[in-house]
Amino acid sequence: MKEKVVLAYSGGLDTTALIPWLKETFDYEVICCCVNCGQGNELDGLDERAKLSGASKLYIEDIVDDFCDNYIMPCVQAGAVYEHQYLLGTSMARPAIAKKLVEIARKENAVAICHGATGKGNDQIRFELGIKALAPDIKIIAPWRMTDVWTMQSREDEIEFCEAHGIHLPFDASHSYSRDRNLWHISHEGLELEDPSLAPNYNNMLVLGVTPENAPDKETEVTMTFEAGVPKTLNGKEMKVSEIITELNRLGGENGIGIVDIVENRVVGMKSRGVYETPGGTILMAAHDQLEELILDRETMEAKKKLGSQMAQVVYEGKWFTPLREAIQAFVTSTQQYVTGEVKFKLYKGNIIKAGTTSPYSLYNESLASFTTGDMYDHHDADGFITLFGLPLKVRAMKMQEAEKNNNK
């Protein structure tokens, strides 16, 4: 009986070519596994394509709700944003996919897992760290790094290889953007984006929405509620997190929300430019922040901001299955206990405009915040506070004056 390999399968040209290559190079039985994180119609026709290419079996595993509840929401609650702009769409999905690949490999008694990530990108790290953490005994095959046996270097090479193996599929060699899509976002790389001096060709690129210039000339009003940091209703309708993100994607896309053009620092050391469309995610994170600022005290918010930045780094680097991520998430979860309430905002030409926030756990006190003197705040108390708060500054200044006088004698 042949040994089995589980291939992370998308149905694209790369992973299609990998099926006969794995059989020919290693004499493996190839089990394809496509993990559905919300790719939409990209999943159409995969079963026939995989079997036609020589796979013995194809798993299509739907993990959309798991992805939303157990990967997206911890990052939303943490405020995890990489380099101030990237909302981690691809980064969050990779550990979820790796976990499912390991599950299928165990089920099939496979000896190896293969992925089609290149040797220049972040995804090779994310996939492999996830697999190593969950199944250190399973071999990992990364063809794009195996240049001695993987000799294909272009789409033309892959098409020629498939044709030679009797695989005639609707792929051509025409170049297009390199994209990755899931429920949270879609990324775009390549073409004019490889030159930072050029503007993105948004009219030819965007998939989930329009630019702010092409958005409607009217506002879209949105109301959301949260319970313990988790979104529960959207415009009065109770929904699952995945359903809320889906609807926010529609609303955000229509209003030009969440388009980011970024030059980011990859884990492997190079800079890379990409455009991310994250309409629903941008809205969800803004709504969560809008509610949270009413509820968390200053010191907790400051600590959480630092850990949120660290969480983004951890997730970006593929270190999801680590004690550090678990510890940061445990802290964040503790901060979400009272993040409950309602947020209102308007979407208008790429902007998210606050329109009111309420919470039974709000720390905002109108008597304290008002310019009118309230019962809880005596202006005279500020005298002693400022004296003590500014004491180090005053002592230093006095010492500097004394030193200057001594030097002038």
Q: What is the DSSP letter of 377?
A: -
Distance CA(148)–CA(105), nearest Å, equals 26
The single residue of 14, 126, 273, 359 carrying the catalytic annotation is 14
Q: Coil, helix or strand for 360? A: coil
Pairing of strands 237-238, 230-234: antiparallel
Structure tokens at 366: 């109108």
- What torsion do the CA atoms of 402, 404, 408, 409 make, to the nearest 10 degrees? 20
Annotated active-site residue 56? The verdict is: no
Helix, strand, coil tally for the chain in percent (to 5): 45, 20, 35
The single residue of 49, 53, 91, 123 carrying the catalytic annotation is 123
Annotated active-site residue 178? The verdict is: yes
Identify the residue whose tokens are 């309430």.
Answer: 341
174-177 long-range contacts, CB within 8 A, separation 24+: 177/205
The residue type of 130 is G
Distance CA(332)–CA(340), nearest Å, equals 15
Identify the residue whose tokens are 């995890």.
Answer: 80
Distance CA(230)–CA(225), nearest Å, equals 8
Q: State the number of CA atoms in the 13 A half-sphere of 152 facing the CB.
A: 20
The single residue of 56, 178, 242, 272 carrying the catalytic annotation is 178
Per-position DSSP letters for 166-193, written without gaps between them = T---S-------EEEE-SS-EEEESGGG
Neighbours of 198 (CB within 10 A): 11
The single residue of 53, 91, 94, 181 carrying the catalytic annotation is 94
Neighbours of 241 (CB within 10 A): 20
Q: Coil, helix or strand for 87? A: coil
Annotated active-site residue 172? The verdict is: no
Structure tokens at 126: 């994310």
Annotated active-site residue 250? The verdict is: no
For 115, residues 6+ apart whose C-beta sits below 8 A from its C-beta are 7, 8, 123, 124, 127, 128, 140, 141, 142
φ/ψ of residue 203, rounded to 5: -65, -25
Neighbours of 58 (CB within 10 A): 20
Tell me the catalytic residues. Answer: 14, 94, 123, 178
